[in-house]
């Protein structure tokens, strides 16, 4: 059973829903569980705690947990299995029990991290395939433009390869987008992409960075402070609200900014967390960069991209 340490440590105040943050306590809990899933801390198929068990650990009302669970089931992040509790959803098509060797290799590449396999061990299996047809660019498939642009920036900086992006609709309508591309996409859309990409070059799943260090920085603030988050992404701001809510409490003030064009003056904030696109445009006393894509995920992508990727 999943212990949900991340959720437990971030829910220490039973009055969370009254802290003045936008969104209910149930919504904030749901966003934190999604964060644990997308950062690889909760894996598909893992059993979730019961409503009462999680409520006791997180020190929230059981109705808060029930609301969060219902929301996550409706959005496909959690699934119900007959005779068992909720599990983390496997947001992929049902796997064929009679996989060919090539199909098994593809599945292993996609799931290497979540199943605990070493990428070095897999390299020997896929080296010949990657060397024969190395990609000449990375294609980011992400629905929200803000998130897509952040991922593009971080991949370009790390790999040194040309990077382009598109929405899921654009990808499905134009199969030619896969030509010469290493596709990089969130886990929850991979099922829709698998049949459209070459078997020799399966989709690499995006894993987002944990933010434990960022939360600890807020917890270490000794005086009442203004904590700001600025990003080009609405989704990232929504996640930040739920993530920082327990650390903010009633002691600090939380501010969020959806970045547009031009400089952003945050010199009035004591601590400002910025995404990779806006960090240079923000003026502040203490700016902290939040790198969206997990470092080991970028290493995975570099391995798949082969010799063309910058080391």
Residues 86, 79: contact at Cβ < 8 Å?
Answer: yes
CATH code, residues 5-88: 1.10.10.10
Report pLDDT for 19.
Answer: 37
**Tokens standing for 233?**
């992404």
Give the pLDDT of residue 10. 42
pLDDT digits (tens, 9 = 90+) for 274-300: 999 999 999 999 999 999 999 999 999
* Residue 225 CB partners (closer than 8 Å, separation 6+): 252, 253, 270, 271
For the whole prediction, is pTM greater than 0.85?
no
Mean pLDDT of 114-127: 59
Structure tokens at 284: 């502040």
pLDDT of residue 308: 64
The pair of structure tokens assigned to 155 is: 């991949």
- For residue range 24-35, list pLDDT tens digits in order: 888 889 888 988
Model pLDDT for residues 236-283, shown as the tens digit of each residue = 999 999 999 999 999 999 999 999 877 889 999 999 999 999 999 999
Q: What is the mean pLDDT of residues 70-90?
A: 84
Q: What is the pLDDT of residue 18?
A: 33
Is the pLDDT confidence value at 224 over 60? yes
Domain boundaries, the chain: 5-88, 101-208+295-308, 212-289
Supply the pLDDT for residue 82: 75
> Looking at residue 45, what is its pLDDT?
83
Q: Compute the distance between CA of residue 57 and CA of residue 5 in angstroms, rounded to an integer.
A: 9
**CA 282 to CA 267: how far, in whole Å?**
9
How far is residue 36 from each of residues 39, 121, 191, measured CA to CA in Å? 5, 26, 20
CATH of 101-208+295-308, one of 3.40.50, 1.10.10, 2.60.120, 3.40.1000: 3.40.50
Residue 307 has pLDDT above 90, yes or no: no
Q: Would 5-88 and 101-208+295-308 be classified into the same CATH topology?
A: no
Q: What is the pLDDT of residue 178?
A: 87
**Model confidence band, residue 42 (pLDDT cutoffs 50, 70, 90):** confident
Q: How many CB atoms lie within 10 A of CB 200?
A: 13
The token duo for 261 is: 């064009």
Band of residue 81 on the pLDDT scale cut at 50, 70, 90? confident
DSSP codes, 111-173? HHHHHT--HHHHHHHHHHHHHHS--SEEEEE-SSHHHHHHHHHHHHHHH-S-EEEE-HHHHHH
Per-residue pLDDT, 91: 52
Reading the block at residue 194, the tokens are 């698998």
């Amino acid at each position: 059973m999943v212990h949900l340490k991340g959720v437990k440590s971030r829910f220490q105040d039973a009055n969370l829903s009254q802290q003045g943050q936008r969104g209910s306590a149930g919504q904030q809990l749901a966003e934190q569980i999604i964060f644990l899933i997308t950062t690889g801390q909760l894996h598909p198929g893992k059993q979730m705690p019961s409503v009462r068990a999680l409520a006791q650990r997180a020190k929230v009302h059981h109705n808060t947990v029930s609301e969060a669970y219902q929301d996550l089931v409706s959005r496909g992040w959690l699934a119900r299995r007959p005779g068992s509790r909720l599990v983390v959803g496997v947001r992929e098509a049902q796997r064929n029990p009679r996989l060919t060797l090539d199909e098994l290799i593809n599945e292993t590449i996609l799931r290497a991290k979540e199943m605990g396999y070493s990428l070095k061990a897999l390299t020997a299996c896929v080296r010949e395939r990657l060397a024969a047809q190395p990609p000449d660019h990375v294609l980011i498939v992400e629905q929200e433009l803000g998130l897509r642009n952040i991922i593009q920036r971080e991949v370009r900086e790390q790999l040194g390869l040309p990077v382009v992006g598109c929405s899921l609709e654009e990808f499905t309508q134009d199969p030619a987008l896969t030509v010469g591309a290493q596709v990089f996409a969130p886990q929850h859309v991979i099922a829709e992409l698998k049949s459209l990409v070459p078997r020799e070059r399966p989709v690499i799943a995006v894993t987002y960075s944990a933010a434990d260090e960022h939360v600890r920085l807020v917890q270490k603030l000794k005086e009442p402070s203004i904590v700001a988050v600025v990003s080009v992404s609405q989704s990232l701001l929504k996640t930040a609200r739920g993530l920082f809510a327990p650390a903010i409490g009633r002691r600090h003030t939380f501010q969020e900014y959806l970045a547009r064009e031009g400089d952003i003056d945050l010199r009035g904030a004591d601590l400002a967390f910025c995404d990779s696109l806006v960090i240079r445009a923000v003026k502040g006393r203490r700016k902290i960069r939040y790198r969206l894509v997990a470092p080991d995920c970028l290493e995975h992508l570099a391995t798949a991209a082969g010799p063309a990727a910058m080391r």
